[in-house]
Chains A and B, each alone.
Chain A
Amino acid sequence: DAGITQSPRYKITETGRQVTLMCHQTWSHSYMFWYRQDLGHGLRLIYYSAAADITDKGEVPDGYVVSRSKTENFPLTLESATRSQTSVYFCASSESARGNGSPLHFGNGTRLTVT
């Protein structure tokens, strides 16, 4: 099915462990984004990517690493998970940065709990 899929949907991990959240889109959109959603903070941008092999930091990048070797995949890695990284993570994609009118398309999210 066309769309944007995130895996896993739920993840529980321990402090200090490395965790990778997966994101895959089938539209060949240029832009991809990772957001975290926390009560009282809304959605905050962690990292974004304008194209394969081009990534840049967002508002809250510390403790996270991304890569984009292929257009369709944009994994997010927590190198050493901390309790403050307990959150719901959303991946999104956008067709193009040319002009302002490209909406973001979101996955269903990954709920991560760090114990």
Chain B
Amino acid sequence: AQSVTQLDSHVSVSEGTPVLLRCNYSSSYSPSLFWYVQHPNKGLQLLLKYTSAATLVKGINGFEAEFKKSETSFHLTKPSAHMSDAAEYFCVVSETRGYQKVTFGTGTKLQVIP
């Protein structure tokens, strides 16, 4: 069965400090993994994706994520938080077995303190 667990529902960081948003997944196959960001009253925007190439994936706005198969993790990081990073972040796992099955995590709200 496919599942995604985002380990923190809320994360608070000070502006200029590192960001770590944690995600663990479960999949019977070799999945693709994604991180999306949602700003208030907006749709979800793709930050980055992992599709079995390099395990360290770079995305937009300075974010990156590392795929660790042994730990079944796909944590999202950024070296220095900016006020504009305040949003909700979703970790997503996708498998294709006849049809595309996509499972979303429950989201992590990132607060950035000035």
Contact = CB atoms under 8 A, between A and B. Distances in A.
B34 A103 contact: yes
Contacts of A94: 100
Contact of A102 (B30, B52, B100, B104): B100
Given A43-B90, A100-B94, A106 B43 contact: yes
B72 interface: no
A101 B102 CA distance: 11
A19 interface: no
A68 interface: no
B43 A108 contact: yes
Interface residues of A, number: 26
Nearest to B95: A100
Nearest to A35: B104
B42 interface: yes
Interface in B1-46: 29-32, 34, 36, 41-46
A90 B104 CA distance: 13
26 contacts: A33-B102, A41-B106, A43-B104, A50-B99, A56-B99, A90-B43, A97-B96, A97-B99, A98-B96, A99-B32, A100-B51, A100-B94, A100-B95, A100-B96, A101-B32, A101-B52, A101-B94, A102-B100, A103-B34, A103-B46, A103-B49, A104-B34, A106-B45, A107-B43, A108-B42, A108-B43
